[in-house]
Structure 1
Amino acid sequence: MNSKSPILLFDSGVGGLTVLSELRKLMPKAPVIYAADMAGLPYGGKSEAEVAARVAGLLGRMAERYQPRLICIACNTASTIALGMVREVLETPIVGTVPAIKPAAAITKTGTIGLLGTEATVRQKYVDDLQEQFAEGKRLLRYGANRLVALGEKKLRGEAVSIDEVASAASGLVLQPGGEDLDTVVLACTHFPLLEPELREAFGKDVTFVHGAEGIARRIEHLLEGQKFSFWSKSLAVTTGELEDFKRLAPAFEQHGISTLKRF
Structure 2
Amino acid sequence: MAFPTRHNDAPIGIFDSGVGGLSVLRHIQAQLPHEHLLYFADTAFAPYGGKPENVLIERVLGIGAFLVSRGAKALVVACNTATIAAVRILREHYPDMPIVGVEPGLKPGAAATRNGLVGVLATERTLAGEKFLLLRDQIVAATGARFLLQPCVGLADQIEFGEPGAPALDAMLERYIAPLLAQGADTLVLGCTHYPLVQASIEAVVRRHTDVEVALIDTGDAVARQLARLLDASKLLRGAGGQPSGLSGFTTASGEALRASFNTLLGQDPSVHEVEISLPQPGSTAQHI
Matched, 1:260 2:271: yes
CA RMSD of aligned residues (A): 2.3
The letter for the 1-side match of 2:16 is: D
Flag structure 2 segments of 5+ consecutive residues without an equivalent: 1-5, 276-289
Deviates more, 1:37-46 or 1:247-256: 247-256
- Aligned ranges 1:109-258 → 2 under 5 Å: 109-136=114-141, 137-154=144-161, 159-162=163-166, 165-169=169-173, 171-172=175-176, 174-175=178-179, 179-204=182-207, 205-206=211-212, 207-225=214-232, 226=235, 227-228=237-238, 231=243, 234-252=246-264, 255-256=267-268
The letter for the 1-side match of 2:89 is: M
The letter for the 1-side match of 2:271 is: T
The letter for the 1-side match of 2:133 is: D
Residue by residue over 1:172-200, the C-alpha shift from the partner in whole angstroms, topping out at 9 and shown as x without a partner, is 45437x95221111101110001111111
Change (3 A) 1:154 1:11: same
Using the TM superposition, give the Cα deviation of residue 90 of structure 1 relative to its aligned residue in structure 2, in angstroms.
1.9
The letter for the 1-side match of 2:62 is: G
Give the conservation status (yes or no) of the 8 Å contact 1:11–1:74.
yes
Using the TM superposition, give the Cα deviation of residue 211 of structure 1 relative to its aligned residue in structure 2, in angstroms.
1.7
Residue by residue over 1:98-155, the C-alpha shift from the partner in whole angstroms, topping out at 9 and shown as x without a partner, is 1100011112122221111111111101111111222333221212213221232247
Match among 7, 13, 31 for residue 36 of structure 2? 31
Change (3 A) 1:187 1:163: farther
Equivalent residue pairs, number: 258
Match in the other structure for 2:66: 61
Give the TM-score normalised by the residue count of structure 2: 0.80
Using the TM superposition, give the Cα deviation of residue 93 of structure 1 relative to its aligned residue in structure 2, in angstroms.
1.7
Matched, 1:5 2:10: yes
Output the CA distance in 2 between the equivalents of 1:245 and 1:45: 23
Flag structure 1 segments of 5+ consecutive residues without an equivalent: none
% same residue? 30
Larger Rg: 2
User: Which 4+ runs in 1 deviate beyond 4 A?
Assistant: none
SS in 1 for 2:9: coil
Give the conservation status (yes or no) of the 8 Å contact 1:45–1:146.
no
Change (3 A) 1:28 1:228: closer
Output the CA distance in 1 between the equivalents of 2:186 and 2:17: 29
The letter for the 1-side match of 2:254 is: E
Give the conservation status (yes or no) of the 8 Å contact 1:73–1:96.
yes
Match in the other structure for 1:49: 54
The letter for the 2-side match of 1:38 is: T
Match in the other structure for 2:79: 75
Give the conservation status (yes or no) of the 8 Å contact 2:98–2:227.
no
Change (3 A) 1:87 1:17: same
Output the CA distance in 2 between the equivalents of 1:54 and 1:105: 33
SS in 1 for 2:183: helix
Give the conservation status (yes or no) of the 8 Å contact 1:9–1:33.
yes
The letter for the 2-side match of 1:75 is: C
SS in 1 for 2:65: helix
Change (3 A) 1:110 1:165: same
Output the CA distance in 2 between the equivalents of 1:198 and 1:240: 28
Output the CA distance in 1 between the equivalents of 2:171 and 2:145: 25
